[in-house]
Structure 1
């Protein structure tokens, strides 16, 4: 066996972790045998290496010394037990695997994306004779049974080998590694500083106008490729397909949508992006549409399609599809249109040859938001349309911490698990503040250091209009500490930006945001004030609808207590998952503060 096996620290424990380790060891045995046969027994194997700032783990990273340069050298290896695979018509990046059934990413494309992502994160070259190389090893397959996979033109980062090509695989490893201890290289990789994650809006303009800046991994890339394939199928076969991309906060839904739109814009397709969020759409218009009315007009709203002819666009990306409503009618809709109003889902599906829905059903935070996979599938079935669904499971926000993602679900009762202690995982910084003053001071230091930080809260305080002197009212009061909510309207008030830009304009620090201005955005550090609408009693969090000041919750006939409970829990889930690096929590309730402290 190789000289060194390294497995990065993992906070989990118990039977599940033990089973995971055993499975990983079994997958690695085939590779370990080949390393020994190649005379590379001194090379280190890092199994289950977690890519920086994501929850995605690669099977194995081989760490060692380059045979020519003597520098550190790394080979990412994806181990596949596949025996049969064939490409999908219309795509050289997607395959179907026997006995798996679901669409999979081509293993060469998969490992190539890992190389590019890791190189970006470490600031290392990923081509030529660079530091990082990659290969997929189909150790159970023979060439003829995976011929479509092997037809993909390879690079040093996208090589694919079968068990028939074991000799070539060994030669490939020898070309990038020599038989010398890899422990130093492994340690340096695990301790390497990581570049900050790319914020979506920072690169949104270039993403649409120039080239892709985001590395899509695994299911993200599958979703992207399925959208492009559906567009091509609509063009060549006049076949309409509905694509649904489902995933939690930080899974990359918006990145997929903008990446696909960018590629389709560059190909000359008629595309549109729509949301139900004024803040998100207005911000996209500011970042992407500045100086270009054509680009600005790409971004619209779900209620903009009442009079659009069928299939007016090649692609319509519906981001935040949980916010789809019953109809597009509002108080400004003329009576003649109101009387002819169709379901909003019908308008969206019929507007484009390929409607794409980016969906997270757990982000429904107010009455009237109806978007769900069931709703989309039901209407598509009525029209005889095919629906393709891609589920995203990885975490690309919150430091890539799947542990924190689970912790918030368990804490808020959105998961079957009980609230659990936060032991930390080295990826995300979770803190409990003793006061709002402490929280604000911590976030102010981060903001002053050039990072982004915001405070948000549950809707438990009045939200006043500006005073006659055009100053904001400090409505959010906790003891002697008081701050205003973000501005209500799109018009800035003093140094405070309009509501749509609270999360992205530096002037937004100093006001408290709500779920309506935070949803869809991300910042480095997030401070969340848990109001009296969510308190800990008898070891669990319970909601208090009567403490909410949200006008949407006033009428019990329109919003049941059960629905209000879910909305409040979902609200705090959204607020707690905005931070890229860390989150601070503060509760206005002493018993809840003690409960949170007991979990740390």
Structure 2
């Protein structure tokens, strides 16, 4: 994850975008209403490294440049994902003008702002598609929408957003919903399209994007000269291949979609597929991200530990939530979903057809997120035999 540190060189496009956002921020810093800049882009398009550079420059100016428009501004970097937050706080330890306290969860900052303990000028939000869009009393958020609450305190907000990484109803967003919320405010945006994470062919990335929208077609004829794409008949064979890659290059893990026993009760719950038998990821109480802990090679990662992370090789178990019918059309089996957080009720979703479509898309988004974790390779195993056979046959052909 050092790939998102401010020391990573930027492309000409990325450096230009950082400057564009800084210019936007300085132009709107002292206006009566907040302004918002949105960076759109799929998983792996370099959104986080842009924010990392941006925040480093902002905080350097705030703390060392008395003649800058940003001098003495109070700025925070927010991400609603505990594992990604650990990475940013690690990076802060290596940068002279970034402090670990600069990096916060949104709820924590909102609660501090309500108590008058912080007075934010500029907020940078990574993975803004994870912001809560309804109250979550379990996690001490009593407002109605993270972004709305943050707009009440900040002068400028910069966020990155990808609607195909929305995974739960309590953080249910679409680009349309986001743009509707931003109508009253000055706002600008930029869309990133180049894939940086995966060393895969454009054809394979497009295949994953199509799969995310339930369009199933044969795998592309080339995954890329430097990308390893495999389909396995046996999940245990896939695990052993991932273990070998982990021993050779590190940061290689098995991950899975929903559809297997899973309860947040502190106990171990196992995924079993024939000879394959491993527990789900355990809650990570350490300051080290889950994927960097050596012992997690013997666990199965989920969206809760892997979203936003680079792995070298990822072995994905596509669980019982997805299957193929006899006409090779993708079926989303909502009744096989086992993640109780996914479909928690929302009062503002009342149209049954909209709810059904949203549920289907959340399941597909999970696959999209997990398929795009691997820098060097993607290994696949599908619980559904018809889907597994289709993928293997199309790859062999």
1:548 aligns with 2:337: yes
Q: CA deviation at 1:452?
A: 1.7
1:519 aligns with 2:307: yes
1:262 aligns with 2:56: yes
Alignment of 1:219-238 (within 5 A): 220-235=14-29
1:251 aligns with 2:45: yes
What SS is found at the alignment partner of 2:254?
Answer: strand
For 1:320 and 1:521, the matched residues in 2 are separated by 12
For 1:598 and 1:571, the matched residues in 2 are separated by 24
- 1:103 aligned residue: none
- 1:353 aligned residue: 155
For 2:360 and 2:376, the matched residues in 1 are separated by 29
Unaligned runs of 5+ in 2: 63-72, 350-354
- 1:582 aligned residue: 377
- 1:305 aligned residue: 110
Structure 2 CA distance for partners of 1:485 and 1:249, relative to 1, 3 Å: same
- 1:196 aligned residue: none
Please report the RMSD computed on the Cα atoms of aligned residues, expressed in angstroms.
3.0
- Decide whether the 8 Å contact of 2:314 with 2:378 is kept in 1: yes
For 2:111 and 2:125, the matched residues in 1 are separated by 15
Alignment of 1:407-446 (within 5 A): 407-413=207-213, 418-424=216-222, 425-446=224-245
1:274 to 78, 86, 94: 78
For 1:248 and 1:357, the matched residues in 2 are separated by 14
What SS is found at the alignment partner of 1:259?
Answer: helix
Structure 2 CA distance for partners of 1:203 and 1:591, relative to 1, 3 Å: closer
For 1:292 and 1:410, the matched residues in 2 are separated by 43
Structure 2 CA distance for partners of 1:447 and 1:295, relative to 1, 3 Å: same
User: Could you list the runs of 4 or more consecutive aligned residues of structure 1 that deviate by over 4 angstroms after TM superposition?
Assistant: 235-240, 289-294, 464-467, 553-559
- 2:297 aligned residue: 509
- 1:564 aligned residue: 359
- 1:76 aligned residue: none
- 2:352 aligned residue: none
For 2:383 and 2:190, the matched residues in 1 are separated by 40
- 2:324 aligned residue: 536
- 2:127 aligned residue: 320
Query: What do residues 150-202 of structure 1 show as CA deviations (whole Å, max 9, x unaligned)?
Result: xxxxxxxxxxxxxxxxxxxxxxxxxxxxxxxxxxxxxxxxxxxxxxxxxx435
Query: What do residues 344-386 of structure 1 show as CA deviations (whole Å, max 9, x unaligned)?
Result: 222222332220110001111111213444344333332xx32
Bigger relative contact order, structure 1 or 2 (CA pairs below 8 A, ≥6 apart): 2
What SS is found at the alignment partner of 1:445?
Answer: helix
- Decide whether the 8 Å contact of 2:278 with 2:299 is kept in 1: yes
For 1:300 and 1:361, the matched residues in 2 are separated by 22
- Decide whether the 8 Å contact of 1:201 with 1:284 is kept in 2: no
For 2:174 and 2:211, the matched residues in 1 are separated by 24
Q: TM-score, normalised by structure 1?
A: 0.57
- Decide whether the 8 Å contact of 1:413 with 1:541 is kept in 2: no
- Decide whether the 8 Å contact of 1:465 with 1:473 is kept in 2: no
- Decide whether the 8 Å contact of 1:456 with 1:512 is kept in 2: yes
Structure 2 CA distance for partners of 1:378 and 1:589, relative to 1, 3 Å: closer
- Decide whether the 8 Å contact of 1:419 with 1:540 is kept in 2: no
- Decide whether the 8 Å contact of 1:317 with 1:357 is kept in 2: yes
1:393 aligns with 2:197: no
User: Rg larger in 1 or in 2?
Assistant: 1
What SS is found at the alignment partner of 1:224?
Answer: helix
Unaligned runs of 5+ in 1: 1-199, 493-497
Alignment of 1:481-492 (within 5 A): 481-487=276-282, 489-491=283-285
What SS is found at the alignment partner of 2:218?
Answer: coil
Q: CA deviation at 1:515?
A: 1.3
Alignment of 1:281-292 (within 5 A): 281-289=85-93
Alignment of 1:142-181 (within 5 A): none
Q: CA deviation at 1:235?
A: 4.9
Q: TM-score, normalised by structure 2?
A: 0.84
For 1:583 and 1:332, the matched residues in 2 are separated by 34
